Chains A and B, each alone.
Chain A
Amino acid sequence: MTRAIKPARLLVALLFLVVAAGAAGAEELRGTGDLGIVIERTAGAVQIIETSGRTSLGRIEGLGDLSHASAVFSRDGRYAFVFGRDGGLSKLDLLTRRLVKRVVQAGNSIGGAISQDGSLIAVSNYEPGGVRLFDAETLAPVADIPAVYGATGARSKVVGLVDAPGNRFVFSLYDAGEIWIADVAQPDKPVITKFAEIGLQPYDALVTPDGRTYIAGLFGEDGLAMLDLWRPEAGVRRLLDGYGRGEEKLPVYKMPHLEGWARAGDRIFLPAVGRHELLVLDAKTFTEIGRIPVHGQPVFAIARPDGRQVWVNFAHPLNDTVQIIDTQSLEIVQAIQPGKAVMHLEFTPRGENVWISVRDADRVDVYDTDSFARIGSIPADKPSGIFLTARANRIGL
């Protein structure tokens, strides 16, 4: 048994092994339900992760400026569409871990959405201000919706773009203070319905998981603008008008996000702009029922999928902490310090774990949401957004 193997034979054997392993890898079947991506904002790269073994499967580079990048998924969960700050739209194959196609579709963009039927990708742009539609298969341009407003023909930056049932997209015009609905039943001829004077500087928006209610947060005044997509003819209604009336607003070091907004039972939790508070709304009437004082200015307030907890991260310079709120008692039940610059949180689809990006520590950590123990970690270069494929099946994500 201790017969020496000739180097040449060994080499052949090794080569065979390598080839066999490669072939097996290519043929090995796997689903996409536990996959996701982590944005490495300054490196212009994306890591592909899986949440069962909590590992990184690979990395795709060359995606441009990914500061503030976000992503949506094809309905089969195989492809991620990544929206870069520099106007880049990249289609990634999570299974082969390859960049399928990349187009630079504008000078400066902020986010995007996928249509209800999965056939169209919409991108919201700051420069030139508007929305562009692309074929999800080929990324070929399909339509252009310039966000022109007012008498001067100026173009507004577009924010808060979401998909809605009926093959519609809904978005807000930051400079114009308008909400537009684009019906894309005929993709190359979008039909636009405009709502003007909805409030000053809408900075982000959300749509409820049933696709019925669109809510834009206002930066220029205290309040939110709500549109019932089942009854758009009723117009835009103001929520929490002047919620900070008479109080000096604190300067804002990072714009809060409304995506991933938290609904728990009959309550909605939203970050207040320029305040160390979460706003609590009644989910039926959309009126304020309380406020929760928190550690800093909230950036994301995200509900665990079962709605029992809301996890909150904070703006610079208090961004090393995450607080966890019990949605029944409205108490802060736990605080963790993952490290400096917590950028984003994403729950696994059933909520047993949460993935947290810690930018300045160059890590993505995984926490158990029951024990609050850190149960995993992967190195990542200045990680920001984390996006799991479960989003593929949800309206508005």
Chain B
Amino acid sequence: MLAAVLVLAASTAGAAPPGGDRQAALLYLLRQDCGSCHGATMGGGLAPPLLPHSLAETPDDALIAAILDGRPGTPMPPWRFEISPDEAAWMVRQLKGGLAE
């Protein structure tokens, strides 16, 4: 029960945002390492685009799960080893809001 509540909390806007340095590191990771498949401007590559309009229909939970655990059977790898659930939630908010140029 507690776990369920925690998961819910992590997937809503209430999640604690990462600190400033960590935010910068996550944005860097997004552009550079996620960018190698999704495009440096998130416009897509071998992997689909992660632009606000492409993500709008998909619930946050599904996107956070994709980041943490990957999508088995596709090239999307899991990132749990270096991205926490709170951080993934923050990344999804950044992506849905659109990364600044």
Contact bitstring B24-39, A, C-beta under 8 A = 1, else 0? 0000000111011101
CA gap between A65 and B39 in the complex, in Å: 9
A140-148, A233-241, A246-254 - interface stretch: A246-254
Q: Within A198-229, which residues are at the interface with B (CB < 8 Å)?
A: 201, 203, 219
A255 interface neighbour in B35, B36, B70, Cβ under 8 Å: B36
A110 to B31, CA, bound (A): 17
- A41, A65, A219: which contacts B75 (Cβ < 8 A)? A219
Given contacts A42-B40, A108-B45, A203-B46, A251 and B31 within 8 Å (CB-CB)? no
* Total A-B pairs, Cβ < 8 A: 60
**Which residues from A are CB-within-8-Å of B37?**
254-255
Number of interface residues of A (CB under 8 A): 29
B21: CB under 8 A from chain A?
Answer: no
- Shortest CB–CB separation between residue A122 and chain B, in angstroms? 19
Q: Bound complex: CA of A254 vs CA of B32, how far in Å?
A: 11
Whether A59 is near chain B, meaning CB under 8 Å from some CB there, is no
Question: Is A67 a contact of B39 with CB atoms below 8 Å?
Answer: yes
- Cβ-based interface call for A276 (8 A): no
Judge whether A316 and B45 touch: CB under 8 Å.
Answer: no
Q: Is the CB of B36 within 8 A of A68?
A: yes
Give the secondary structure class of B's interface.
loop
Q: Is the CB of A65 within 8 A of B40?
A: yes
Interface string of A22-42 (1 = CB under 8 A from B): 000000000000000000011
Q: Is A78 an interface residue (CB 8 A)?
A: no
Asked whether A108 and B39 contact (CB < 8 A) given A252-B75, A359-B32, the answer is: yes
The distance from the CB of B62 to the nearest CB of chain A, in whole angstroms, is 18
Task: For the complex, give the distance between the alpha carbons of A6 and B45 in Å.
Answer: 63
Q: How far is the CA of A42 from the CA of B42 in the complex (A)?
A: 12
Does residue A85 face the partner (Cβ distance < 8 Å to B)? yes
How far apart are the CA atoms of A60 and B59 in the complex, in Å? 42
Q: Does the CB pair B78–A67 fall under 8 Å?
A: no
CB distance from B101 to the nearest CB of A (A): 11
The complex places the Cα of A127 from the Cα of B33 at a distance, in Å, of: 21
User: How distant is B45 from chain A, measured CB to nearest CB, in Å?
Assistant: 7
Cα A110 to Cα B44 in complex, Å, equals 11
Please measure, in the bound complex, the distance between the C-alpha atom of A86 and the C-alpha atom of B32, giving whole angstroms. Answer: 15
Which B-chain residue is minimally distant from A85 (CB atoms)?
B39
From A316, which residue of chain B is reached at the shortest CB distance? B33
In the complex, which of the residues B36, B40, B43, B44 contacts A254, with contact meaning CB atoms closer than 8 Å? B36
29 contacts between A and B (CB under 8 A): A42-B32, A42-B40, A65-B39, A65-B41, A65-B43, A67-B35, A67-B36, A67-B41, A68-B36, A85-B39, A85-B45, A86-B41, A107-B43, A108-B44, A108-B45, A110-B46, A126-B44, A127-B44, A157-B46, A159-B46, A203-B46, A219-B75, A252-B75, A252-B77, A253-B33, A253-B77, A254-B36, A255-B46, A316-B33
Interface residues of A (CB under 8 A from B): 41-42, 65, 67-68, 85-86, 107-108, 110, 126-127, 157, 159, 174, 201, 203, 219, 251-255, 316-317, 341, 359-360, 382
Minimum-distance CB pairs A-B, first 8: A251-B77, A67-B40, A316-B33, A67-B35, A254-B36, A253-B77, A65-B41, A251-B78
